[in-house]
């Protein structure tokens, strides 16, 4: 007999998963993530996403389970990472983010971005930005965290690899004569040689980082006359610093449960 599971309305799917959702969203972090996802997905799908994070239920279409579960896990991992980095209990951390409208919006945007984030580096960067805004009392610092989140949401792991590389010094004797130039400018060839895995995406990656204001060209003639170099902007350096604030921490990113 052919199952009619795919024809069941979302309300029925959410109802059948409601008991599992209570367990999946039973702690403070998961409850907060469910609340933030509700803004985008509606209460039924957000509840179902929490239920599906732990296991695929036979009553629910498998692909829907996997996709919603992935989104919930990624967002939860980001908030858990942020909580650990902040050195606060989950209750304390969520309370800080709930204290006013601007901080609540910061949590919403971070969860929204993390839900579609692939890769630990991106999740770590979002977590560090969330922490910097969560502990801030100056609205300008919260706005800065939001700008970082909005930018990081638009890039992927390849972009983060280039940003990280640009925080280091190239193997280039010419740079030694300009020790006051920070971050270090790189030629495009040096960047490519340092990370051949970028492959044919290299040009597209640089173009995206330029469009977001994370890198700019360091004109030829300021270090040598061969060609323009690529350098982090102040904003690019700020975004990359958020990544390293977590990446250099000894505590690992909480492991995401897989299917």
| Dist. CA 145–CA 242, nearest whole Å | 9
Q: What is the mean pLDDT of each run of 10 residues along the chain (259 residues)?
A: 45 42 58 75 56 52 75 92 92 92 94 90 92 91 93 90 91 71 86 86 93 89 72 91 59 42
| Dist. CA 118–CA 156, nearest whole Å | 7
Token code pair at residue 53: 């994070």
The CATH topology of domain 157-246 is Arc Repressor Mutant, subunit A (1.10.10)
- pTM equals 0.71
What confidence score (pLDDT) does residue 83 get?
94
- Could you give the residue range(s) of every CATH 1.10.10.10 domain in the chain? 157-246
Contact by Cβ (8 Å): 178, 223: yes
User: For residue 172, what are the CA distances in angstroms to 69, 133, 187, 189?
Assistant: 47, 37, 10, 12
Task: Find, among 185, 164, 158, 142, the residue nearest to 245 by Cα.
Answer: 164
| Dist. CA 26–CA 250, nearest whole Å | 28
What confidence score (pLDDT) does residue 49 get?
55
What confidence score (pLDDT) does residue 140 get?
93
Q: Can you tell me whether residue 250 is helix, strand or coil?
A: coil
């Amino acid at each position: 007999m052919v199952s009619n599971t795919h024809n069941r309305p979302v309300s029925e799917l959410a109802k059948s998963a409601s008991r599992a959702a209570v367990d999946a969203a039973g702690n403070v972090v998961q409850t907060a993530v469910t609340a933030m996802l509700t803004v985008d997905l509606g209460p039924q799908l957000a509840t179902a996403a929490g239920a599906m994070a732990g296991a695929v239920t036979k009553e629910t279409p498998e692909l829907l389970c996997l996709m919603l579960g992935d989104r919930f896990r990624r967002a939860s991992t980001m908030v858990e990472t942020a909580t650990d980095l902040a050195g606060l209990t989950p209750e304390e951390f969520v309370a800080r983010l709930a204290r006013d409208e601007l901080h609540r919006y910061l949590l919403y945007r971070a969860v929204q971005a993390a839900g579609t984030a692939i890769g630990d580096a991106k999740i770590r960067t979002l977590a560090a930005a969330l922490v910097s805004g969560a502990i801030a009392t100056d609205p300008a610092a919260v706005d800065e965290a939001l700008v970082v989140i909005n930018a990081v949401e638009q890039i992927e792991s390849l972009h983060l690899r280039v940003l990280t590389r640009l925080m280091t010094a190239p193997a280039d004797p010419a740079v030694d004569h300009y020790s006051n130039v920070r971050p270090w400018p790189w030629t495009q060839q040096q960047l490519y040689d340092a990370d051949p895995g970028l492959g044919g995406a290299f040009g597209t990656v640089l173009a995206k980082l330029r469009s977001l204001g994370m890198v700019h060209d360091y004109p030829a003639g300021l270090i040598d006359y061969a060609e323009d170099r690529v350098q982090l902007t102040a904003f690019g350096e700020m975004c990359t610093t958020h990544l390293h604030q977590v990446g250099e921490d000894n505590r690992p990113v909480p492991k995401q449960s897989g299917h």
